[in-house]
Copies of this chain bind each other. A is one copy, B any other.
Amino acid sequence: MRLLIIGGSDAGIEAGLGARAVDDAIEVSLLVADHYPNYSICGIPYHVSGEVPQARNLAHRDADELKAAGLQLRLGERAVAIDPAAHNVTTASGQRLSYDRLVVATGARPQRPPIAGLEALGPDDGVHELHTMDDTARLIASLEQPGMRSAIVIGAGYIGLEMAEALTARGLLVTVLERFDQVMARSLDAEQAAHLAAELDRNGVAVHCGVTVASITRHDGGGLVVTGKDGKQHSGDLVLVVTGVQPDTELAISAGAHTGAGGALAVDRRMRTNLPDVYAAGDCVHTHHRLLDQPTYIPLGTTAHKQGRVAGENAAGRHRTFAGVLGTQVVKVFDVVAAATGLRDAEAAQAGLSTLTVQATADDHKAYYPGATPIHVRLTGDRRTGRLLGGQLIGRRGAEIAKRVDILATGIHHGITVSEILDLDLAYTPPLGSPWDALQQTARHWLARA
């Protein structure tokens, strides 16, 4: 059985590993458009910052490991056409590769916001996007130019904020411009986002929210000027445009694949497209939301791994169902960690749910033990059923924020009620917790208000 996979990032590699784990007689080939298979794209900010000195260390596995796992990598080969009837794929170099099963894992690509002047400017001008390892190399080359003192980051999503930190670490004066009136608007409520903005401010990053960028111009003597629709100008030696991604779907659409939520490829929970023997996974497909029980578009590395695994195992003959996501995510910005899972009020309201959200602040561990720090917790629950719908946490690094949100994600996975949070037998020792964890203390507030 020949399994062909288009894409060598998280979803593609996991599909290959998943298929081989089911049946190691399957021939697995991957078309990898660049020369960086299985690279951790999430790690790019830490390479730019210098914390990960060697780019190759970002690889989850190196070429030898992938080969040993039975994956045949075709590096630098881009697929340009799929013929689902004939079961073959044509590459940019004109090769035609036949398959029994195909997994499309083409990922996403940066959104280009409608900014005057943006199309004409590129890395040589100091204007960058950041999605691939090649983008990364170009950005670092720019940063190594003499006289690089300041940067403007357009977009305050998690990549924008991680890059604000990375560029600050490299000694640049950083300005962040965000069109929404808060940072991380897609993930966090304003109350939580304010704590992140404060941490950026403490570290010398200028954050301007509510700024829609109108134009970028390059001065003749070097230097870039970004002008907002409010007319205000921001100058920098470098501009980074990180305003989100969109699914990379043209190849599959040209072959007749249907699209779903967010314009991403439509797949069922077995990760099958509408095309025969064609599966798809990762940032190019829509995602089953476990709470909404419908497809959404939330491109995340964790999801790409899980979907890839399901696609690969099913392509290999198993019958796996993707369990769905809650949109769980976490970001570290300087010394603060923010995390979220599940639905926020507006999302839940759109789904017809009546929600109550409460906020409480509780220490990560007993205050008497040195080093206790506050965690700001927001819990959103369904007023009617009492079910927990979502949670948001923010606090200092070291406060076990990431794994605390996972407690909520695990509960929501199982349909936990807010009341049941109080029943959870959670671990306690004074240096690491409280007899009633911060989550439980917040749950009690929710119940008192419900």
Contact = CB atoms under 8 A, between A and B. Distances in A.
Q: Of A57, A369, A420, which is in contact with the most chain B CB atoms at under 10 Å from its CB? A: A369
Interface stretch (A198-206, A256-264, A424-432): A424-432
Copy count, this protein chain: 2
Interface in A407-450: 407, 409-411, 413-416, 420, 422-433, 435-437
A24 interface: no
Contacts of A407: 403, 406-407, 410
A312 to B, nearest CB: 13
B330 A433 contact: yes
A297 to B, nearest CB: 15
Nearest to A21: B448
A331 interface: yes
Interface string A332-343: 100001010100
Nearest to A369: B46
A283 interface: no
Interface string A368-389: 1110000000000000000000
A432 B369 contact: no
A398 interface: yes
A410 B423 CA distance: 10
Size bin of chain A's contact surface: 35 or more
Contacts of A409: 424-427
A425 B366 contact: no
A10 B435 contact: yes
Interface stretch (A74-82, A245-253, A319-327): A319-327
A328 B300 CA distance: 31
Contacts of A128: none
A328 B426 CA distance: 6
A437 B425 CA distance: 21
Contact of A330 (B331, B369, B420, B429): B429
A104 interface: no
Q: Of A43, A409, A413, A426, which is in contact with the most chain B CB atoms at under 10 Å from its CB? A: A426
Contacts of A397: 431
A184 to B, nearest CB: 13
A412 to B, nearest CB: 9
A296 to B, nearest CB: 12
A302 to B, nearest CB: 5
B402 A51 contact: no
Contact of A402 (B300, B339, B427): B427
Contacts of A330: 427-429, 432-433
Interface of A: 10, 40, 42-43, 46, 51-52, 57-58, 60, 158, 290, 300-306, 309, 323-332, 337, 339, 341, 366, 368-370, 397-398, 400-407, 409-411, 413-416, 420, 422-433, 435-437
Nearest 10 Cβ contacts at the A-B interface: A323-B423, A403-B403, A414-B414, A330-B427, A402-B432, A400-B403, A410-B410, A57-B368, A328-B425, A326-B425
